[in-house]
Amino acid sequence: MLNNDIPDKNLDESHLKCSFGTLELELEVPAGVWNPTPNGILLGETLEQMDFSNEKVLELGTGCGIHAVILGLRGASELVLTEVDGSILGHAERNLQKYGITCPVEFLIADWIQVNQNGFDTVVANPPFALSNKTYRRYFIDTLILESHKLLKPGGRLIFIHSTMGDVPRTIRLLEECGLSVRIIADKDFPFRDYYFEDEVYLKEMAAVPGSYTVRDGVRYERLVAFEARMPQ
């Protein structure tokens, strides 16, 4: 059950209180750091129910570190966390310290999948999409899938989330074309955020994706879908 207080805007300062199963988290999200949206919260709820014991985990675009905290509390033995900007990583580090994450953590400034490391048991990401600032909006999703073989060890898994507006069948097809086996590990409907209506190009793109949203009682809903995709052994 999603009962978390999700901020309306994405880069304003906030104090985020959220509960994931038995975990109650209170995170500082300073101005300029991505405020977890329903995507981040649903991914957090999903990760909280999983086991990362003894795993070396990479999180791309960690933001305030919400998922990194959960990964650490759920047994990860080593974390590599990336962001575009060192100050964002500093804030994530403070949130990890607050929750006593003691496994080795590397904070890395990296441009998405360009981390120059490999052999990860798990890669986690909530890829930029609606606000990806890319003409090809799926850029972060597709590069994640196409390059995952460079990051993961054989049998390793990729866990990520995106909206039906990002074309779920296309993601499943690309994962399978790349030889990964796919499971849907969570899905949930959410009403559109206000800023979707401010982007005409985005509205046109989503209209071109069959089943990208539903309308109930005049309200548009997207469905958020979390994937677990495993590399062959």
Ligand X SMILES: C[S@@+](CC[C@H](N)C(=O)[O-])C[C@H]1O[C@@H](n2cnc3c(N)ncnc32)[C@H](O)[C@@H]1O
What residue ranges bind ligand X (CB under 6 A)? 34, 36, 40, 60-63, 66-67, 82-84, 88, 110-112, 126, 128
Q: In this complex, which beta carbon is closest to ligand X, that of residue 118 or of residue 181?
A: 118
Q: In this complex, which beta carbon is closest to ligand X, that of residue 21 or of residue 32?
A: 32
| Beta carbon of residue 191, minimum distance to ligand X (angstroms, whole number) | 18
Q: In this complex, which beta carbon is closest to ligand X, that of residue 32 or of residue 169?
A: 32
| Beta carbon of residue 154, minimum distance to ligand X (angstroms, whole number) | 25
3-state secondary structure (DSSP) of residue 93: helix
| Beta carbon of residue 232, minimum distance to ligand X (angstroms, whole number) | 27
The alpha carbon of 92 is separated from its chain's Cα centroid by a whole number of angstroms, namely 15
Residues in the chain: 233
Spatial distance between the Cα atoms of 48 and 44, rounded to a whole number of angstroms: 6
Contacts of residue 144, defined as CB under 8 A and 6 or more positions apart, other chains included, come to 60, 112, 113, 123, 125, 127, 158, 160
| Beta carbon of residue 44, minimum distance to ligand X (angstroms, whole number) | 8
Write phi, then psi, for 181 (nearest 5 degrees). Answer: -100, 135
Q: In this complex, which beta carbon is closest to ligand X, that of residue 32 or of residue 179?
A: 32
Q: In this complex, which beta carbon is closest to ligand X, that of residue 44 or of residue 210?
A: 44
| Beta carbon of residue 41, minimum distance to ligand X (angstroms, whole number) | 8
Q: In this complex, which beta carbon is closest to ligand X, that of residue 84 or of residue 207?
A: 84
DSSP state letter for 193? P
Tokens of 13: 């300062």
Largest CA distance in the chain: 49
Spatial distance between the Cα atoms of 182 and 160, rounded to a whole number of angstroms: 11
Residue with tokens 């207080």: 5
Residue nearest to ligand X (CB): 61
| Beta carbon of residue 161, minimum distance to ligand X (angstroms, whole number) | 8
